[in-house]
Amino acid sequence: MTISYKLDTEKGAIAPIKAHKSDAGWDLYTPFPFTIPPHSRMVVDTGVHFNIPEGWRAKLYSKSGLMSKNGITCRGLIDAGYTGPVIAVLFNHSDNPYFFGVGKKITQIIFEENPDIELVETDTLEETERGSGGLGSTGE
C-alpha cells in the first residue's frame, strides 16, 4: 500500500518518519515552536497533507514518551478524501508548561483499513453474555 503526502514547505513542514521499520506509526513534527500551558490544549497545523484512499482512514495517537513522562496526549481521526493539513490537538494534563521546539515529535499517525459497514435500525438486540452492563459492571 502506498499513501502519498505533500508538505507545506513554506510553513516549514517536516516529512513524517518511522523510527523503526516495524513501528505501526509515522512520527509527525511541529514546524514551529510553542508552549502548552498546564491543563490546556494547543492546536498545531503540522503542514503535512495526505491522500488517504477510499476504504482507509488515519488515526492520530499520543507518543508514549510524551504521555507517560509529561502528560501530553493527542487523539484524532482523519477520513479518506480529506486532503487538508493534519491538525494535531495536543492536551497538557500536567501541572507544568511544556515547550516544543521546531522539529519536535508531537504525535504519530497510523493508517488503517476502514470497513464498509451499514447500520440497520431494529426494535430488539440479540441477547449477549454482557448485556447492557457497563461502567464498572464487572467489578473494580
User: Which domains does the chain possess?
Assistant: 20-112 (2.70.40.10)
Dihedral over Cα of 59, 17, 43, 82: its sign: negative
Taking CA atoms, 68 is separated from 46, 59, 60, 92, 130, in Å, by 22, 19, 17, 12, 32
pLDDT above 90 (res 21)? yes
Which cell numbers in the block locate residue 5? 503526502
Tens-digit pLDDT profile for residues 122-139: 999 999 988 887 777 777
What predicted TM-score, i.e. pTM, was given to this entire model? 0.89
pLDDT for res 72: 98
Mean pLDDT of 38-56: 98
Q: Report, as an integer, the average pLDDT of 34-47.
A: 98
Distances (CA, A) of 135 to 12, 119, 130: 44, 24, 12
pLDDT at residue number 102: 98
Report the distance separating Cα 116 and Cα 38, nearest Å.
40
Check whether 71 has a pLDDT greater than 80: yes
% the chain with pLDDT above 90: 90
CA 113 vs CA 12, 69, 77: distances in Å? 30, 31, 13
Take residue 15 and report the three cell numbers written for it. 516529512
